[in-house]
Structure 1
Amino acid sequence: MSVYDEIGGAPAVKAAVTVFYERVTSDPELATWFQDVDLTRLKAHQRAFLAAALGGPELFTGRGLDAAHAHLGITSEAFDAVVEHLAVALHDLGTDDDVVARVRERLDALRGEVVTAVSA
């Protein structure tokens, strides 16, 4: 069974993405990266990406992570904070701790494609 199935499939991904964006857009350390962004479009994109990253249907057709994040200057600390917000969202929605840990591992493997700035 994939991590996607273990967390509850499409409904769980949709709920997690909704809670996740509520959290990151309210976080003063992260909010600036999401200003002037079409969140409806970004949420749809994130649902497709997350589904594919967690072993669900391959609906993701966006740019590669490196191309999508290259101009954003994302630090390792910001990456960690975003992963933490997603982990908390999944946990709050009832996802088992071992599954959340596997999601963290999958996302951490993508760090090199997202982090583009040296931390202060």
Structure 2
Amino acid sequence: MTFYDEIGGADTIRTIVARFYEGVAGDELLRPMYPEEDLGPAEERFFLFLCQYWGGPTTYSETRGHPRLRMRHSPFPVTPDAADHWLHHFRAGLDAADLTPEQDQRFWEYVTHAAQFMVNTPV
């Protein structure tokens, strides 16, 4: 069983990502990093990425290729403050999901590492 299956699959990840993007939509620091007026396509890409990362369908790679996360985010100034905002909204997403403490910790450890990895502008 993959972690994707263990946490409830697509439904759980959809819950997390939807709550995350609710926060991003009103965030004055993060929202400008999403050039599309409609956040729906970005939400879908993130959903597909997380599904694949945790062992679900490989739709993300099939439609977009290798994630290349740092390259895809390089046009945007990802500061430590932006990473903190991102984590704040992701925390809300995890809190909206029905995860065990162990599952929550595993997901949180991944996203905190990912957020720091994406920082490309020190100030």
- Unmatched 5+ stretches in structure 2: none
Distance in 1 (CA, whole Å) between partners of 2:42 and 2:30 is 15
Once the two structures are superposed, the pairs formed by residues 20-35 of structure 1 within 5 Å of their partners are 20-35=20-35
Q: Distance in 1 between the 2:51 and 2:34 partners?
A: 21
Q: 1:21-100 residue pairs with structure 2 within 5 A?
A: 21-61=21-61, 62=64, 63-100=67-104
Partner-residue secondary structure (3-state), 2:84 = helix
Counterpart in the other structure of 1:3: 3
Alignment coverage as a number of residue pairs: 119
Identify if the C-alpha distance between structure 1 residues 7 and 87 changes in structure 2 by more than 3 Å, giving closer, same or farther: farther
Q: Secondary structure at the match of 1:29?
A: coil
C-alpha RMSD over aligned residues: 2.1
Shift of 1:35: 4.9
Aligned partners of 2:54 and 2:87: how far apart in 1? 14
| Contact 1:87 1:100 (8 Å CA) reproduced | no
Contact (CA 8 Å) 2:19, 2:92: kept in 1 or not?
A: no
One-letter amino acid of the structure 2 residue matched with residue 114 of structure 1: M
Q: Which amino acid aligns with 2:19?
A: V
Q: Determine helix, strand or coil for the equivalent of 1:60.
A: helix
- TM-score norm. by structure 1 comes to 0.81
Identity of aligned residues (%): 27
Letter in 1 for 2:33: W
Higher mean C-alpha displacement, 13-22 vs 77-86: 77-86
Number of the residue aligned with 2:16: 16
Amino acid at match of 2:102: D
Partners of 2:12 and 2:98 within 8 A in 1:
no
Change (3 A) 1:46 1:117: same
